Structure 1
């Protein structure tokens, strides 16, 4: 933005930190690995080692179809993997050494994640991953500590009753909510109005809360999760607590992509794995985020065995059926019935109030 910049620097270039996958670019990664190993005089990689590095390049890029060009990250991985290959007295760095180096780096930086996981284990943070409950759902958020990013489940609850205040964001009321999160909650009221208030006014007050949250909340990646909780409360339909949800939603009920899906899935998986995988547990994500999944081996094996599940969805109607095992048409009819009762009760109380004033 500085006028002097254009005078001093005649050629400006934007360098991307990602590139497309494909044989040509994967070969370039392999060539960089070979060059770096020669330059630093460390062990070379066999084919499995190179494949694992390329896999982690996709993980850093957060996309199956992209590779990270942050070569400093690759270099750090190679240096530590060389040490583990030396410990094993192997002539080449193999995939297990790359994985060991990656896991050890996470271990050195995940103290806060471990402490939060311990709070779930000791029930200091209350979470249900086995039952079905009304107006309650497990959402997913991401915490970025700079050197380490991890997913954290959050319990979201919703209550609904007769009134005119619409959907109230409790975090906003106590000034713990960011503007993007506030926008996401306001979108929910737009969806409810279009679906259920075409012939009667929306006589509703609903309250949404992130339980046991003591810091600020921002972003709209939980907006679909909040909407499911509201629909559950209005329709008196229990939701599966063993399916965690992430995804943004618009006023038309279309699910929109979000960031950090890999970490979110792994965060919920770790908690389910600790308490015991039942075979029913899983995570619901926007279908647009499928290509962003670069999951750790433990999660992939659990999905392959059918003991953990990933559900890509494109609409609220599709998602509510997965969470309830009921037709969304049946659920919406129940909601319409309740909202009509709310409107009738509201009209009666208004009429009674007018009569009292006349008297």
Structure 2
């Protein structure tokens, strides 16, 4: 066999190609190397949150510096990569400072401008309790004085023979004095921010908070007269920015805050204090505005890439100018050190959950394998650890349901089937429906029909593509017409393929219209991974050469005919295998990205290709010899470079 057509295996290293399948024990040893442990109960879990962060070394270093220097931080990255944990860890790293309590007092000069006082932590509660006790004593003294007056009036009326008049007079005096005299408890301050018995800097998560919860608010008072009103200072409520004073304020998806709230947040960041006022103009609290309340916090803003688009430019400039911006990593290199960290992550999740049994060595190896698979990159491990943690918990639940003392590899494999995402389940139903109605074929040869492969969320699907050639409707030129709700990148991919068609055929196609149909793409098509599928379908239709329906393919295509790498090859291969496809063509650059499940091995042949010529060799039917010879002759006559295979034979290589 020619070395060019060497047989590959998904688990093989780049240098050595092993012919024999690895046993599960060998696979565990290969994945875990010299890491010695029997189960995760022997793995030490660090107590500090910052030491529990996996794979985000750059972000951890920034958080440590920001905590020491009290800088703001913006964390941008995919969900589940550790942004919230880094925020909590920062509050543990902040230098120990004297926390403060905030009191709000009534203002006799202006009821709508309550006064604010700051005292050491724990002192606020003592002040409020002392003043409540003093007010209670004053109330008791006043009530006793009123009772003496009332009793004196009743006794006087009794002896003068005017008892009824005396009772009425006593009642009127009692009520008038009770409601006309100032209330002693109205002068008792309200403890707005209480940091009593707190040893660490506060951490406040204000994700999704509305204006009142974030910036503070003043409650509405429905009874504003007749002695039934509530004093203004008692209706004041602090916001998250005030609770986070001398601590950390964490806001995820910061772009979801209204622009007005972002502007107010910017003011709080700049001034280190912010007055509290009613947030609703229809509330009586809108008239109340306190003196500035301290809010000297460190802000950690988090979000996806789109968070920066909806973020107030001045707020982002403030964070960038007085802090750091960090882009979180989605994957980490597959090294021995990082594998050790991932093993520790499994132990961390088990300890944090507290309801699932520890994992055996084989179970951890299966989790490690899944981390490699989900990374989508050769030589990398995924850092989408929230999803991976979900798999760990489901596997533990399966083991617990069976009454097992330890979670084994079989439990992890069962969990992978049970813990499928909604998108994966939707893709399964999608494929079932297509198969029931024969929307794609998995046997025979057909002209102008190709089984492409695509990704729906985190699951693969088979994407049938058909091409047909007709006389041009326009007298001036022929057109390439693609249908199937194509998005921008997909349209550009079709344009690139049209260049190749002209180059490979070497003939005038201005008198022909080429129709390309993406079958069943009701949700739309985006990306260029169907480029080699489009090119194969169109060339097949133009030249009348049938395409094997047992073959599916994925790959991007350059205008010179080179097959370029795409994403999601593992998911696409698994989808093809489940659909009954026998052979899959993938870009040669993606060979290291393939990590398919054990259940798929042996069901499908995976062939890496590097040029469109190789695609034709392996995808076309028995008449491919005529097509390739024609292309080679044209390339020679026109003296242009077209990458074609040196020999034509039945392929026998797979990954």
Which residue among 340, 358, 374 is the counterpart of 1:27?
340
- Secondary structure of the residue that 1:170 maps to in structure 2? strand
Aligned partners of 1:143 and 1:150 also within 8 Å: yes
Aligned partners of 2:533 and 2:554 also within 8 Å: yes
C-alpha distance in 1 between matches for 2:608 and 2:521: 27
C-alpha distance in 2 between matches for 1:254 and 1:207: 23
C-alpha distance in 2 between matches for 1:86 and 1:246: 41
Aligned partners of 1:178 and 1:217 also within 8 Å: yes
Residue 489 (structure 2) pairs with residue 180 (structure 1) = yes
- Shift, 1:177, TM fit: 1.9
C-alpha distance in 2 between matches for 1:91 and 1:161: 67
Aligned partners of 1:167 and 1:208 also within 8 Å: no
- Secondary structure of the residue that 2:420 maps to in structure 1? helix
Structure 2 partner of 1:288 = 589
Structure 2 partner of 1:135 = 448
C-alpha distance in 1 between matches for 2:388 and 2:368: 9
Structure 2 partner of 1:17 = 330
- Shift, 1:264, TM fit: 1.2
- Secondary structure of the residue that 2:412 maps to in structure 1? helix
TM-score norm. by structure 1 comes to 0.80
1:1-359 paired onto structure 2 within 5 Å: 2-8=316-322, 10-41=323-354, 42-106=356-420, 110-123=424-437, 125-144=438-457, 149-163=458-472, 165-171=477-483, 176-197=485-506, 203-272=511-580, 281-300=582-601, 302=602, 307-324=603-620, 330-332=626-628
Which structure is higher in helix share?
1
**Number of equivalences:** 316
C-alpha change, 1:247 and 1:37, in structure 2 (3 Å) is: same
- Shift, 1:45, TM fit: 1.4
- Shift, 1:114, TM fit: 3.4
C-alpha distance in 1 between matches for 2:456 and 2:611: 26
C-alpha change, 1:167 and 1:218, in structure 2 (3 Å) is: farther
C-alpha change, 1:76 and 1:109, in structure 2 (3 Å) is: same
TM-score norm. by structure 2 comes to 0.45
Aligned partners of 1:151 and 1:266 also within 8 Å: yes
Aligned partners of 1:246 and 1:285 also within 8 Å: yes
- Shift, 1:332, TM fit: 4.7
Aligned partners of 2:431 and 2:462 also within 8 Å: no
C-alpha distance in 1 between matches for 2:349 and 2:498: 55
Structure 2 partner of 1:342 = none
C-alpha change, 1:116 and 1:6, in structure 2 (3 Å) is: closer
- Secondary structure of the residue that 1:19 maps to in structure 2? strand
Structure 2 partner of 1:352 = none
Q: Which runs of 5+ in 2 are unaligned?
A: 1-312, 634-655
- Secondary structure of the residue that 1:298 maps to in structure 2? coil
Aligned partners of 2:532 and 2:615 also within 8 Å: no
Q: Aligned Cα RMSD in Å? A: 2.7
